[in-house]
Amino acid sequence: MAGSVENENVGGDRARAGHSPLAQNVFQALRTQISVGQLRPEQKLPSEHELAATYLVSRPIVREALRQLKDERLIYSRRGAGSFVVARPDLGADQPAVGFAPVETIADIQRCYEFRLTIEPDHAYWAALRWNGQALDEIAAALDLLRDATTAHLHREDADFGFHLAIAKATNNHYYVSSMTALKDHIYVGMKFHGNTIAKAQAGLENVFAEHRGIFEVIRARDSERARELMRRHLEGSRDRVFEGRLLDLSL
């Protein structure tokens, strides 16, 4: 696809020493799923074959990504049984958690977009001012996954959410990260609706990928005001595509 992330050398200077960019992409995606609780403590990971099919890579690439997760003590292996998520103390069941009532109506999806519009433009603003190399790596890795999905004519909610969560992490503000983590299931619902809308035409997928890429580029350039504006436009565009420009009246 023209103007891909690889062609613009987003990933070329960010891969960890000794690790291939593809393995880094898979590693970042799985690490994000663990950090937001999509993969829970003691949960078994999909097989190498399943992961390879999911991320459109070879099994040696998957094995390299799994080794990175083991090095960070995020997963462990049981002989003959597979790989499992480590039960980390900071993710214990007795830890107080922020939460929201489940999405029950179309109006709730609109409310979720409304709330995201009050915080995520600021995520992009502060991320542009505060990112370090590791934080930028994580945003770029999620962007690479979005690119791969777009090339394969797919929309992946995990990569999409991972991109937005990585931007929240780059703010170095745990309140933003906690809010996004608590909203994960709600955001996924909106992203699923959005994905179904844009997947009807490849141009829709490519246009949305271009929006994500533009946000990444201005964050990397530390253009905080532009980052805030592009994030706002992206979320408003996503909301309007879901609702076909006809928002519900939420007046009491």
38: its two tokens: 């999509």
Mean pLDDT by groups of 10 residues along the chain of 252 residues: 41 48 84 79 91 88 92 88 77 45 78 96 98 93 93 89 94 90 87 84 90 98 98 96 89 88
Among candidate residues 73, 29, 68, the one with its CA nearest the CA of residue 51? 29
Mind spelling out the 3-state secondary structure of 19-71?
A: CCHHHHHHHHHHHHHHHCCCCCCCCECCCHHHHHHHHCCCHHHHHHHHHHHHH
pTM of the model: 0.66
pLDDT for res 5: 45
pLDDT for res 101: 59
Given a contact cutoff of 8 angstroms between Cβ atoms, the answer to whether 199 and 154 are in contact is yes
Exposed (0-12), middle (13-18) or buried (19+): which is 161, by Cβ within 10 Å? buried
Phi, psi at 36, each rounded to 5°: -95, 0
Given a contact cutoff of 8 angstroms between Cβ atoms, the answer to whether 28 and 143 are in contact is no
- Looking at residue 203, the DSSP 8-state letter turns out to be H
